[in-house]
């Protein structure tokens, strides 16, 4: 018996039991009539399969679906549809996944870390051949070279919990996104040199959030509290989160055939991370006492 899969399904199904009636009522209220072909698979099953993929260590979703869902896990999903039909159903869980992630635990610890990572959708030299993301993805340079795709912006707390996220075009400045995803947060937020901006610092500070980052070599040195120095040295926590999202989960690959399913894959990966029992975390209190 796969207890991890059963536990995951129970969590997802409990959420769907609450969310779906409100969602359907909202669609009726706004007279948003969607003509969708009925599926023999439930929303809970589709969401569970997508999230479980990111916990399975498979690199290819088609292989995972055909070998696991239609194979070893067939007894858990007796009404599993064909792979092609499942791909057609994936967009139906886009909005439920957004709300599912929003419903996960977010502890306002007062200590947060922000950064962005690139999501390549194809090699930048083949960008002119890519039709799926034409007009959406952008070509941009990074520390690792040129890429064609998007940026994923994250804020996590010192416990590794996902506080906020946003997907943007590759050319979007990190400083433009931060005020939007940091709404409602107070305390300290630690970023890299890409977030250096006096105007941004002032805007966040007025809302109770202190932006902390290292200074560039051509900037004047300034005194910094020891606590802030400690937090800057611990900024690697968010890099660990990105590493898990890309190497344990599979939020970045170049086999997407639709924009909606690209989004569903990212959201399912984020949901899988939110449900991890062990996340990258810091013992801030102990560090402060011993430094």
Condensed to tens digits (0 to 9), the pLDDT of residues 119-175 reads 999 877 777 778 888 888 888 877 777 888 999 999 999 999 999 999 999 999 999
Q: Are 84 and 140 in a shared domain?
A: no
Q: Are 149 and 204 in a shared domain?
A: yes
Final residue before a domain boundary, out of 50, 76, 102: 102
State the chain's mean pLDDT as an integer. Answer: 90
The pLDDT value given to residue 50: 98
- 137 found inside a domain: yes
Q: Are 90 and 128 in a shared domain?
A: no
- Domain, as residue range, for 152: 111-253
Q: Are 231 and 123 in a shared domain?
A: yes
As given in the structure block, the two tokens for residue 156 are: 């996590």
Give the span between the Cα atoms of 266 and 271, in whole angstroms. 9
Give the span between the Cα atoms of 272 and 245, in whole angstroms. 9
The pLDDT value given to residue 27: 77
For residue 52, pLDDT beyond 50: yes
CB 46 within 8 A of CB 90: yes
- Specify the range with the lowest mean pLDDT, choosing from 30-44, 160-174, 191-205, 226-240: 30-44
Q: How confident is the model at residue 217 (pLDDT cuts 50, 70, 90)?
A: low
Q: Are 98 and 125 in a shared domain?
A: no
- 89 found inside a domain: yes
For residue 250, pLDDT beyond 50: yes
For residue 201, pLDDT beyond 50: yes
Q: Are 74 and 158 in a shared domain?
A: no
For residue 104, pLDDT beyond 80: yes
- 271 found inside a domain: no
Q: Are 128 and 247 in a shared domain?
A: yes
Q: How confident is the model at residue 63 (pLDDT cuts 50, 70, 90)?
A: very high
Q: Are 96 and 190 in a shared domain?
A: no
First to last CA, the chain: 47
The pLDDT value given to residue 287: 47
- 258 found inside a domain: no
Final residue before a domain boundary, out of 53, 78, 102: 102
Q: What angle do CA 193, 213, 230 make, to 5 degrees?
A: 135
Q: Are 46 and 160 in a shared domain?
A: no
Q: Which residues pair with 190 in a beta bridge?
A: 113, 212
- 268 found inside a domain: no
Domain count, the chain: 2
Give the span between the Cα atoms of 291 and 285, in whole angstroms. 10
- 267 found inside a domain: no
């Amino acid at each position: 018996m796969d207890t991890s899969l059963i536990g995951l399904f129970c969590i997802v199904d409990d959420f769907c039991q609450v969310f779906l009636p409100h969602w359907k009522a909202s669609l009726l209220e706004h007279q948003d009539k969607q003509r969708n072909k009925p599926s023999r698979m439930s929303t809970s099953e589709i969401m569970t399969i997508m999230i479980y993929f990111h916990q399975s260590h498979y690199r290819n979703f088609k292989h995972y679906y055909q070998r696991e869902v239609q194979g070893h896990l067939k007894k858990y999903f007796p009404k599993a549809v064909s792979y092609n039909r499942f791909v057609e159903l994936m967009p139906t869980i886009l909005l439920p996944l957004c709300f599912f992630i929003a419903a996960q635990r977010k502890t306002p610890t007062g200590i947060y870390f922000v950064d962005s990572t690139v999501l390549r959708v194809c090699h930048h030299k083949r960008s002119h051949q890519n039709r799926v993301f034409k007009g959406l993805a952008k070509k941009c340079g990074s520390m690792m070279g040129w890429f064609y795709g998007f940026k994923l912006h994250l804020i996590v707390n010192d416990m590794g919990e996902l506080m906020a996220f946003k997907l943007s075009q590759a050319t979007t400045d990190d400083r433009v996104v931060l005020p939007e995803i940091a709404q409602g947060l107070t305390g300290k937020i630690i970023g890299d040199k890409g977030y250096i901006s006096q105007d941004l610092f002032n805007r966040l500070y007025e809302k109770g959030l202190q932006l902390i980052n290292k200074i560039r070599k051509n900037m004047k040195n300034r005194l910094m509290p020891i606590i802030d120095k400690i937090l800057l040295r611990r900024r690697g926590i968010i890099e660990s989160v990105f590493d898990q999202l890309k190497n344990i989960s599979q939020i970045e690959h170049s086999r997407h055939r639709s924009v909606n399913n690209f989004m569903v894959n990212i959201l399912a990966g984020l949901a899988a991370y939110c449900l991890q029992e062990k996340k990258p975390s810091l013992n801030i209190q102990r560090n402060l006492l011993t430094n």
